[in-house]
Amino acid sequence: MKLIPLTEQPTNDASADYFTGNVRLDGFFTPPPPARAGGGLVTFAAGARTAWHTHPAGQRLYILSGLGWVQVDGQPRQTVRAGDTVWFEPGEKHWHGATNTHAMSHFAIAEAIEGRSVDWLDHVTDAAYLNQND
């Protein structure tokens, strides 16, 4: 067993290379081999979101608080709330984040294949983020 105290897990600001807006990352972990599942808590301020991305082994989100949006490329944007669970299939191009009026926090889990758990793509433009059908 390995216990990692909160004091050894600082809150980090998410990289502007992969996120738009104010996004915090807490408790992110990458397990030692042979384990493959990693994850952490992501908190999005209102209007904040990920860039488009995919996961080679898929991704599970558990919405902890607030109100958010998730979208798979080519499909309508969907609203998520605390208690909702979202599964993105392996290779499915998607983004997720807060709505434009509410913050949202989720716990994200993704497995790595050959050391890679995410492939980042282009940013979701403000126009695309705001002009989707609910």
On the 0-12 / 13-18 / 19+ scale of CB atoms within 10 A, 8 is exposed
What is the pTM assigned to this prediction? 0.93
95: in domain: yes
Max CA separation in the chain (angstroms): 48
How does the average pLDDT of the chain come out, rounded? 94
- Higher-pLDDT residue of 32, 96: 96
Query: How many CB atoms are located within 10 Å of the residue 31 CB?
Result: 13
The answer to whether residue 134 scores a pLDDT higher than 50 is no
Residue 3 lies inside a defined structural domain of this protein: no
Q: Which two tokens stand for residue 111?
A: 């497995």
Tally Cβ neighbours within 10 Å of residue 54: 18
Count how many domains the chain has: 1
Looking at residue 132, its pLDDT comes to 59
- Give the CATH number for residue 101: 2.60.120.10
Model confidence over 12-49: pLDDT tens digits?
A: 999 999 999 999 999 888 888 899 999 999 999 999 99
Range of the domain at 97: 8-130
Q: What integer is the mean pLDDT of 102-119?
A: 96
